A and B are shown apart, each in its own frame.
Chain A
Amino acid sequence: MTYYVAIDGKSYRLDLNQIDGAWSCRVDGSEVKVDAVLARPNVLSLRLGDKAFEVKCERVGSDIHIWVGSQRFAAEIRDPRSLRGRIRAADDEGPRKLTAPMPGKVVRLLLSQGSSVDAGAGVLVVEAMKMQNEVKSPKKGTVQKILVAEGAAVNAGDVLAIVE
């Protein structure tokens, strides 16, 4: 099976095939000798040649982080079957979602629906553990929609507002 794995934004082609219970593995076409044991869910003991690594997989919302020792990598995995629709527009065009950075409570709306907003300006305030965090607009535009009310409890990754 062929995967395209983006690690910290750089894309790699990974061919993983299981033959007679053993893995054959190619990274960008070159053969790598791999031996892996799943120590527990989300923890792999990996051998590359004779070097040993403990690798952890952390899923937060839709993000996947791979930890090699104490180094963290942001990973995006695409296999051919789910390639469609996975490519995100990274530019400033079109509506952009503002999401909650952590679970908490919406304590204040700084702007109302329809008002114009500058890039980096605060749109609303989310509070957790007695600390307040301004959720800022990623772009200049108009606040098209505010999807939460003051006092609402939100989870990390919840869409709070849309800036067009």
Chain B
Amino acid sequence: MFKKILIANRGEIAVRVVRACHEMRIAAVAVYSDVDRASLHVRKADEAYPIGSAPAAESYLNISKILDVAARSGAEAIHPGYGFLSENAKFATACADAGVKFIGPTAAAMEAMGSKTRARQAVEHFNVPVVPGTSSGLASLEQAEQVAAQIGYPVMLKAAAGGGGKGMRLVEGPAELKSALESARSEAERAFGDGEVYIEKAILNPRHIEIQIIADEHGNTIYLGERECSLQRRHQKVVEEAPSPIVDAEMRRRMGEVAVRVAQAAGYTNAGTVEFLVDENKNFYFLEMNTRLQVEHPVTELVTGLDLVHLQIHIANGEPLPFRQEDIQVRGHAIECRIYAEDPDNNYFPSPGKITLLLLPSGPGIRRDSGMYEGWTVPMEYDPLLAKLIGYGTDRDQTIGRLTRALNEYFVGGIKTNISLFRRILSNPDFRAAKIDTGFLDRLLKQKQRSSDSQADPQATEVAVIAAGMFSVLGSAAASAGERVLNGSPAQPVAVSKWKSAAQREALR
């Protein structure tokens, strides 16, 4: 087994991987940019190396600096996390050339699945259902018109290199096609440096369901059930759950087998995710493959009882999978909320800054994967994901109850977060009835929030008035006092005596 692993990432995922390393008695090496010296992943690691200034291109995306740290620290493997270099085939190749194991698929597999059109071509002969459309970039407007007429409107134009909704256009009829094609192309060119756009039949308000697969380097590929990721805003996932409320054992098997074929078509190894669109008749279509560990991997871990990061490391170490397909069982239910530093009152605009107060939820069925701590200043240079709050339970109802309870315990002061959004989602009747699709969140956000939505306590205003006065009385003392009784039994002389009296009480029992 590796003795030392370098984690080429930051934030909650870097902390997640450091923890896995320590659980496996592997030393963890962190890298950090100038603005991340105080970040949690640096605190938790065994070694930490500065790799440059704040812009990702000069630090977390800088291949030679990261490989230099790997050489200096003696790390034998690199875990890329998600984002940054995780799906960069050049990085995987550079690692191999430097004699460092990249914990993920091979560069060839990444390239095969790297663009949506190439992925469609790769799976062509593997009996994988895809949305009707072209499997290569559109050569001309005439071709686009022809294909659109053939598959029928509405159609979707998509950037081959796309992601996050960029370079994507819904076209309702032939009149809109020309301008949509031009704008999709220029947006794709700007966002990805690649203007290739292809066409697909539009599936309106689909569900987004993905299958987690895991493959060792000995030819074994296994699916680990699905995740429902239909709750998205601007094509970014916000809430994910496993299992999907609409997928039964039979559908899971069919989707899983397709996902395994996709992975095998690419010669895939390590952890990966095969994404599908699902229409209202539960027909599913291959969308793309994500060649990395996903943000939402914890929901799969909770319902399968597996640790995906441990598995990734074992596989990278050349070990065969320790189980077979028939050993995998989905048990219970898990839901993840992505806690972002965003201002719900300002159209969910990022809200970096100093965290002045942090109260954490715990208790039954709660897992928190976090990269923040009280007193830390959230840097403005990176993705605003702060933490993931994951609830799990016997079934979906219990999980929603636990998660709602935990969201009420969770408090992040000093910056704005989207915690209130999850309270809205989790209390929504359609969400509770699992009537969700990719348009759900946009529809919810368009509705004016009724003031009765937040469990308004009639006494709350009076409480706020009194508390405001008391905080004012305490003044600066409030910033330093540990515990201070303001009323009730008179405060005991502080320090030692409390321990003593507690010990005496214990002894008397």
Residue numbers of A with Cβ under 8 A of B are: 1, 3, 5, 7-8, 12, 14, 16, 21-23, 25, 27, 32, 34-44, 46, 48, 51, 53, 55-60, 64, 66-71, 73, 75, 77, 79, 101-105, 128-131, 133, 156
Contact across chains for B359 and A48 when beta carbons are under 8 A apart: no
Contact across chains for B359 and A56 when beta carbons are under 8 A apart: yes
Residues of chain A within 8 A of B384, CB atoms compared: 129
Contact across chains for B461 and A77 when beta carbons are under 8 A apart: no
Q: Assuming the A-B contacts A1-B473, A71-B456, A129-B380, are A7 and B478 also in contact, with contact meaning beta carbons closer than 8 angstroms in the complex?
A: no
With A40-B482, A68-B457 known, 4 other A-B pairs at CB within 8 A are A14-B469, A37-B485, A56-B413, A68-B464
Contact across chains for B468 and A131 when beta carbons are under 8 A apart: no
Question: Given the complex of chains A and B, what is the CA–CA distance between A4 and B468 in angstroms?
Answer: 10
Contact across chains for A25 and B466 when beta carbons are under 8 A apart: yes
Contact across chains for B463 and A38 when beta carbons are under 8 A apart: no
Residues of chain B within 8 A of A64, CB atoms compared: 468, 471
Contact with A along B458-492 (1 / 0, CB 8 A): 01111111111111111000111111111110110
Q: How many A-B residue pairs have CB under 8 A?
A: 180
The stretch among B83-91, B225-233, B271-279, B349-357 that forms the contact with chain A is B349-357
CB proximity to A under 8 Å, residues B44-83: none
Residue of B nearest to A155 (CB): B353
Please tell me which one of the listed residues B420, B465, B474 contacts residue A70 in the complex, with CB atoms under 8 A apart: B420
Please tell me which one of the listed residues A34, A68, A101, A156 contacts residue B460 in the complex, with CB atoms under 8 A apart: A68
B455 within 8 A of A: yes
Contact across chains for B462 and A48 when beta carbons are under 8 A apart: yes
Chain B interface, DSSP helix/strand/loop, else mixed: mixed
Contact across chains for B350 and A57 when beta carbons are under 8 A apart: no
Contact across chains for B459 and A128 when beta carbons are under 8 A apart: no
Question: Given the complex of chains A and B, what is the CA–CA distance between A1 and B473 in angstroms?
Answer: 9
CB proximity to A under 8 Å, residues B327-352: 341, 343, 346, 349-352
Residues of chain A within 8 A of B474, CB atoms compared: 38
Question: Given the complex of chains A and B, what is the CA–CA distance between A64 and B485 in angstroms?
Answer: 23
Contact across chains for B473 and A68 when beta carbons are under 8 A apart: no
Contact across chains for B468 and A75 when beta carbons are under 8 A apart: yes
Residues of chain B within 8 A of A38, CB atoms compared: 474, 478, 481, 483-486
Question: Given the complex of chains A and B, what is the CA–CA distance between A38 and B479 in angstroms?
Answer: 11
Contact across chains for B352 and A51 when beta carbons are under 8 A apart: no
Residues of chain A within 8 A of B414, CB atoms compared: 58-60
Q: Assuming the A-B contacts A40-B482, A103-B380, are A5 and B469 also in contact, with contact meaning beta carbons closer than 8 angstroms in the complex?
A: yes
Residues of chain B within 8 A of A103, CB atoms compared: 352-353, 380
Question: Given the complex of chains A and B, what is the CA–CA distance between A70 and B424 in angstroms?
Answer: 12
Residues of chain A within 8 A of B455, CB atoms compared: 69-70
- Counting from the closest, the 8 A-B pairs by CB-CB distance are A129-B350, A128-B380, A58-B413, A55-B467, A36-B486, A73-B464, A75-B468, A68-B460
Residues of chain A within 8 A of B480, CB atoms compared: 41
Contact across chains for B478 and A42 when beta carbons are under 8 A apart: yes
**Distance from A6 Cβ to chain B, minimum over Cβ atoms (Å):** 9
B411 within 8 A of A: yes
Q: Assuming the A-B contacts A22-B487, A27-B462, A58-B414, are A77 and B468 also in contact, with contact meaning beta carbons closer than 8 angstroms in the complex?
A: yes
Residue of A nearest to B484 (CB): A38
Question: Given the complex of chains A and B, what is the CA–CA distance between A29 and B343 in angstroms?
Answer: 37
Contact across chains for A37 and B341 when beta carbons are under 8 A apart: no
Q: Assuming the A-B contacts A16-B473, A44-B470, are A5 and B465 also in contact, with contact meaning beta carbons closer than 8 angstroms in the complex?
A: yes
Contact across chains for B490 and A66 when beta carbons are under 8 A apart: no
Please tell me which one of the listed residues B454, B460, B479 contacts residue A41 in the complex, with CB atoms under 8 A apart: B479
Question: Given the complex of chains A and B, what is the CA–CA distance between A53 and B468 in angstroms?
Answer: 13
Question: Given the complex of chains A and B, what is the CA–CA distance between A98 and B142 in angstroms?
Answer: 51
**Distance from B9 Cβ to chain A, minimum over Cβ atoms (Å):** 17
Residue of A nearest to B485 (CB): A37
Residues of chain A within 8 A of B413, CB atoms compared: 42, 56, 58, 67
Contact across chains for B481 and A46 when beta carbons are under 8 A apart: no
Q: Assuming the A-B contacts A55-B464, A73-B461, are A41 and B478 also in contact, with contact meaning beta carbons closer than 8 angstroms in the complex?
A: yes
Residues of chain A within 8 A of B487, CB atoms compared: 21-23, 34-37
Q: Which size bracket describes the interface of B in this complex?
A: 35 or more
Residues of chain B within 8 A of A131, CB atoms compared: 349-350
Residues of chain A within 8 A of B408, CB atoms compared: 69-70
**Distance from B385 Cβ to chain A, minimum over Cβ atoms (Å):** 10
Question: Given the complex of chains A and B, what is the CA–CA distance between A56 and B488 in angstroms?
Answer: 20
Q: Assuming the A-B contacts A58-B357, A129-B382, are A40 and B352 also in contact, with contact meaning beta carbons closer than 8 angstroms in the complex?
A: no
Contact across chains for A66 and B464 when beta carbons are under 8 A apart: yes
Question: Given the complex of chains A and B, what is the CA–CA distance between A79 and B357 in angstroms?
Answer: 25
16 residue pairs of the A-B complex, CB under 8 angstroms, read A3-B469, A23-B486, A27-B466, A32-B462, A37-B483, A37-B485, A38-B478, A38-B481, A38-B485, A38-B486, A41-B357, A41-B481, A42-B357, A53-B459, A68-B467, A104-B380
Question: Given the complex of chains A and B, what is the CA–CA distance between A130 and B413 in angstroms?
Answer: 22
Contact across chains for B464 and A70 when beta carbons are under 8 A apart: no
Q: Assuming the A-B contacts A38-B474, A73-B461, A129-B341, are A7 and B352 also in contact, with contact meaning beta carbons closer than 8 angstroms in the complex?
A: no
B182 within 8 A of A: no
Instruction: Please indicate which of the listed interface residues B383, B423, B455, B484 has the most CB atoms of chain A within 10 Å of its own CB.
Output: B484
Q: Assuming the A-B contacts A36-B486, A56-B359, A59-B356, are A16 and B382 also in contact, with contact meaning beta carbons closer than 8 angstroms in the complex?
A: no
Contact across chains for B464 and A102 when beta carbons are under 8 A apart: no
Residues of chain A within 8 A of B454, CB atoms compared: 70-71
**Distance from B347 Cβ to chain A, minimum over Cβ atoms (Å):** 9
Question: Given the complex of chains A and B, what is the CA–CA distance between A59 and B355 in angstroms?
Answer: 11
Question: Given the complex of chains A and B, what is the CA–CA distance between A1 and B380 in angstroms?
Answer: 42
Question: Given the complex of chains A and B, what is the CA–CA distance between A112 and B77 in angstroms?
Answer: 53
Contact across chains for B465 and A57 when beta carbons are under 8 A apart: no
Contact across chains for B350 and A68 when beta carbons are under 8 A apart: no
Contact across chains for B467 and A79 when beta carbons are under 8 A apart: no
**Distance from B411 Cβ to chain A, minimum over Cβ atoms (Å):** 6
Please tell me which one of the listed residues B341, B461, B467 contacts residue A44 in the complex, with CB atoms under 8 A apart: B467
**Distance from B39 Cβ to chain A, minimum over Cβ atoms (Å):** 15
Instruction: Please indicate which of the listed interface residues A64, A67, A103 has the most CB atoms of chain B within 10 Å of its own CB.
Output: A103
Residues of chain A within 8 A of B481, CB atoms compared: 38, 41
Residues of chain A within 8 A of B397, CB atoms compared: none
